[in-house]
Structure 1
């Protein structure tokens, strides 16, 4: 990836690489943590506002629409102010959105909640656009997939702890979170439950501001772009690179699978014929789902040093396909543990698809990376699964996830092959 971007100054030494990666790991952790708080927030809001599955998943759709809306403005902001300042701005935007959840809870207002979450997601998009390419250029291209899996493991560490945080401070402090399945809440109980989100998001806002101050004062090495001239750029086309052309829908489709499982997990395992749990208890099992994501990324990081990224991705797709069929067509502990197990197989998918997608792009790397980040907007289509759940039942809606795993297998087997790769990045 050296043809696409370089690191200036002190980043030329291995010690400075580790220092930069350590700081970036904190960003991956915090945006993973905040994203997965939604998994405990959604069943809570479903009870507070008496939402259908379609309306519930629309909340997450608004979240991921931010990736599509904010990716290009984020890239332009980075060009104007640099990566370090952009990261600080992203954290501040997230803090503003987190504080917006307080009036949303006081009103309470479904619309204000959507706006506040959209603002948070815009801040996360800015961090994503800045941090993923940064990690990709810190080190040799041959280990890019391994390196991004390693840092994404810290993202999964954040996602693993978020359900415990949300389960205790949101679900554990609300009537809906501790009630038995099917219990109808009074209007007074719903209004009281709405207030439960204020303290968690106040804590989140404080942490974001603190992290922004730390990064602003940290001597993070500058990353510079080595773009080709306009005349030379005209002779190159992103669409001649098969790995990118099929990688963009692979990211898009993978997000539908990951977000659909995570957002409907608590409602799924709480059902009497699956786990028969309260929402608070179900959030503890969500901890295991995201824990599997973290373990899988650490394992994948090591495994990809000796096994090709395509083979690891293909094996993960097959494993995810099998366990999702079990979750769809069985009941009781078998279905519940199958859904938990999919986290282990999903773990390596995003970072591996991302690095395979930009492999061989040379001076087009930054443009390709931007398109892949925009494809995260695929998570917005989780509303389709909510619609399927309303019509055909929650369990049958996971057939959508099964179909997604098949496309990832196709990408690993054929679509990820780099075509017209630049000489210094031949696979």
Structure 2
């Protein structure tokens, strides 16, 4: 690591500094939980709106595209906002934009307008981009740099907790358990068919009204919390990081590629979980939804277990091991049958759990003044969640709605992550 350009926060052995950073770190952790709720509600939202708006697999995957396209388009503006406004104001702005998108679900449901749902999700994605561009590097630098990966994994563990909570909320309050074939829908009267579609759409309103209200409350609380503004300084005392210049770090470039494929893989796995459980194991929608809660639980356990294992195993080695296991589990999800398909999907939740924060921490390791722009690049790479799931949806549609075949797509993604864990993470020696 280039200590001459390291963040000024590095005082892990100073007890006073530790106390100073404790409360801000706790509130930053809350952000990881909140954006985890947004992402994991999509796992229920995709099959639900597929029914309510009568969509194909490819069309339903546009839900992910709307959210993750925002990461690509907003990453540079978010980095500029962070640089100009600082961490606290950027986090508050992110919460409010996130809330605006959540509240837009009400008119979208009232009008049964899929386009309005997509716009609402895009706005949510803009808020999430601002939050993640701010909170990920803030959690990484808020303490001893030697513990940055562990600290980021601990914070990200609350994404896993959100996956479990969102799975319950989605199953209990969004998914209806009602499902009709194309023939059954065609046999209905137009009045009954439209009533069914409206009923399905209406169930999303209350969860998103509550979510938006919680976000506004947190934004107000953040106004009164003191967050230390961590600055990166060069030898002459001024930050010199630049957006394009950050890519001179070879390991950052590989981290951007790995993050692109990781996010795409995770979104593919979670977005198709319910329908894969229905087809592969023969579960009904409600049972599949409850197994999604188990998936969230395993994701949570995986995050905490991974954080503990990082005390003894290097982050790149653990990432490589987990990538190999995920490749095997994807093969089981594709080729297996019965409950073993669901077991494989649950296992993916456990072994994917540490990948995002680990790739992020390895990517910004040793880049000093380029930490903030490097963070923007890593957030931009989340656009993988907009592109790769659509490819999966198209593959499923091509094979006549065979959802399991779609899991070849995340398998390919994990091969890229394996390469990063074995070689791409290495910091190039300075000439």
Aligned to 2:231: 224
Aligned to 1:425: none
Aligned to 1:290: 296
Map 1:25-424 to 2 at 5 A: 25-171=29-175, 174=176, 177-179=177-179, 184-185=184-185, 186-226=193-233, 237-271=245-279, 274-381=280-387, 382-392=389-399, 393-420=402-429
Unaligned stretches of 5+ residues in structure 1? 423-427
- Alpha-carbon spacing, 1:227–1:94, altered in 2? closer, same or farther (3 Å): farther
Residues 17-74 of structure 1 deviation map (CA, whole Å, 9 limit, x = unaligned): 2222111111110110121111111111000111000000011111100000111111
- Alpha-carbon spacing, 1:102–1:11, altered in 2? closer, same or farther (3 Å): farther
**Could you tell me how far apart the structure 1 residues matched to 2:430 and 2:214 are?**
42
**Could you tell me how far apart the structure 2 residues matched to 1:24 and 1:133 are?**
11
Residues 254-281 of structure 1 deviation map (CA, whole Å, 9 limit, x = unaligned): 111100000011111112xx22222222
Number of aligned residue pairs: 415
- Look up the SS of the partner of 2:204 in the other structure: helix
Residue 8 (structure 1) shift? 11
Unaligned stretches of 5+ residues in structure 2? 186-192
Residues 212-256 of structure 1 deviation map (CA, whole Å, 9 limit, x = unaligned): 11111111222223268899779x954443311211100000111
Contact kept in structure 1, 2:9 and 2:144, CA below 8 Å: no
Aligned to 1:6: 8
**Could you tell me how far apart the structure 2 residues matched to 1:159 and 1:203 are?**
17
- Alpha-carbon spacing, 1:116–1:126, altered in 2? closer, same or farther (3 Å): same
- RMSD of equivalent CA atoms: 2.4
Compare 221-230 and 80-89 and name the one that shifted more.
221-230
- Alpha-carbon spacing, 1:89–1:204, altered in 2? closer, same or farther (3 Å): same
Residue 421 (structure 1) shift? 6.3
**Could you tell me how far apart the structure 1 residues matched to 2:240 and 2:36 are?**
38
- Alpha-carbon spacing, 1:28–1:181, altered in 2? closer, same or farther (3 Å): farther
- Alpha-carbon spacing, 1:398–1:420, altered in 2? closer, same or farther (3 Å): same
- Alpha-carbon spacing, 1:279–1:233, altered in 2? closer, same or farther (3 Å): closer
Residue 11 (structure 1) shift? 10
List 4+ stretches of structure 1 deviating above 6 A.
8-12, 180-183, 228-234
Residues 300-353 of structure 1 deviation map (CA, whole Å, 9 limit, x = unaligned): 111111211111001100110111111110111111111111011101111111
**Could you tell me how far apart the structure 2 residues matched to 1:259 and 1:301 are?**
22
Residue 178 (structure 1) shift? 3.6
**Could you tell me how far apart the structure 2 residues matched to 1:11 and 1:105 are?**
51
TM-score, normalising length from structure 2?
0.91
**Could you tell me how far apart the structure 2 residues matched to 1:8 and 1:304 are?**
20
- Alpha-carbon spacing, 1:327–1:232, altered in 2? closer, same or farther (3 Å): closer
**Could you tell me how far apart the structure 1 residues matched to 2:239 and 2:413 are?**
39
TM-score, normalising length from structure 1?
0.92
**Could you tell me how far apart the structure 2 residues matched to 1:219 and 1:152 are?**
22
- Alpha-carbon spacing, 1:361–1:394, altered in 2? closer, same or farther (3 Å): same
Residues 115-147 of structure 1 deviation map (CA, whole Å, 9 limit, x = unaligned): 011101110110001101101111222221111
